[in-house]
């Protein structure tokens, strides 16, 4: 009898504990499904489309710039073709002449000619040969149509004649620039003349100067 009663009491003790444990356990949580509103989806699509449009515009601008560079390069090549390959009749031609009209009070010792910054002639002779050769050709050849510039640098020495004996021990630098235009299909001749100006009372450093004369004609007229 005692053994049976113990078993029953043990059963009553166990059953309430099991029920309490089940009651105290937290309920299982099921994650709520994530949803995106129609407005959010539309905003995301609009942002993506805007990014694509920006990339397309950038690419289009780059293509346009490349086309512009190619166009300019083709124009330059065409001009060079007209001048060099097809002959000077489709370009321009330029002849430069030097003339010395200095009097006996001066001696020309050196001459330098530049065309568009490139050397065309450089002569130096203190012995007097530049005075004896009063006129000569500096250059003659084809040039691109458009603006050009001649730069000259002459060194002149006073001979000590008359009132200027004090000046025979130094040279005078006569420098000058001349800008002009050569048209397509034209041949131009530029004459640079160094001469004296002023009178006996003028400073000797200011008496030597350069003048230019240009004449142009169509190449077909030759």
Q: Is the pLDDT of residue 204 over 90?
A: no
CB atoms closer than 10 angstroms to residue 146: 11
Percent helix, strand and coil across the chain, each to the nearest 5: 40, 35, 25
For 202-207, what is the mean pLDDT? 68
**CB pairs under 8 A, 24+ apart, for 210-218?**
210/152, 210/154, 210/174, 210/176, 212/150, 212/178, 212/180, 214/180, 214/188, 214/189, 214/190, 215/188, 215/189, 216/182, 216/183, 216/186, 216/187, 216/188, 216/189, 217/186, 217/187, 218/185, 218/186, 218/187
CB 111 within 8 A of CB 123: yes
- The pTM assigned to this predicted structure is 0.56
CA dihedral defined by 48, 54, 57, 58, rounded to 10 degrees? -130
Q: Is the pLDDT of residue 16 over 80?
A: no
- Tell me which DSSP letter residue 156 carries: E
Q: Is the pLDDT of residue 25 over 80?
A: no
CB atoms closer than 10 angstroms to residue 20: 9
**Amino acid 150: pLDDT:** 97
- Locate the domains of the chain by residue range: 59-90, 92-221
For 68-93, what is the mean pLDDT? 64
Q: Is the pLDDT of residue 130 over 80?
A: yes
More confident: 54 or 221 = 54
CB 109 within 8 A of CB 155: yes
Closest by Cα among 153, 208, 156, 149 to 179: 149
Q: Per residue in 31-67, pLDDT tens?
A: 555 566 777 777 877 788 788 778 877 887 778 778 7
Q: Per residue in 138-171, pLDDT tens?
A: 999 999 999 999 999 999 888 765 555 555 667 8
User: Is domain 92-221 annotated with CATH 2.60.40?
Assistant: yes
- Phi and psi torsions of 63, nearest 5°: -65, -40
**Amino acid 11: pLDDT:** 43
- Tell me which DSSP letter residue 164 carries: G
């Amino acid at each position: 009898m005692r053994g049976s009663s113990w078993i029953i009491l043990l059963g009553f003790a166990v059953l309430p504990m099991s029920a309490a444990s089940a009651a105290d356990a937290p309920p299982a949580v099921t994650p709520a499904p994530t949803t995106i509103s129609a407005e959010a989806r539309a905003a995301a699509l609009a942002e993506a489309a805007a990014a694509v449009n920006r990339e397309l515009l950038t690419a289009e601008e780059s293509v346009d710039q490349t086309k512009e560079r190619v166009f300019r390069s083709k124009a330059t090549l065409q001009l060079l073709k007209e001048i060099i390959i097809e002959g000077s009749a489709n370009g321009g031609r330029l002849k430069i002449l030097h003339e010395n009209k200095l009097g006996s009070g001066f001696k020309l010792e050196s001459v330098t000619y530049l065309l568009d910054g490139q050397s065309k002639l450089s002569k130096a002779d203190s012995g007097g040969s530049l005075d004896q050769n009063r006129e000569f050709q500096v250059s003659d050849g084809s040039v691109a149509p458009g603006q050009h510039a001649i730069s000259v640098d002459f060194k002149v020495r006073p001979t000590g004649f008359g009132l200027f004996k004090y000046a025979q021990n130094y040279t005078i630098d006569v420098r000058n620039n001349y800008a002009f235009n050569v048209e397509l299909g034209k041949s131009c001749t530029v004459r640079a003349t160094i001469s004296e100006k002023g009178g006996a009372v003028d400073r000797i450093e200011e008496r030597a100067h350069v003048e230019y004369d240009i004449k142009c004609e169509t190449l077909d007229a030759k």
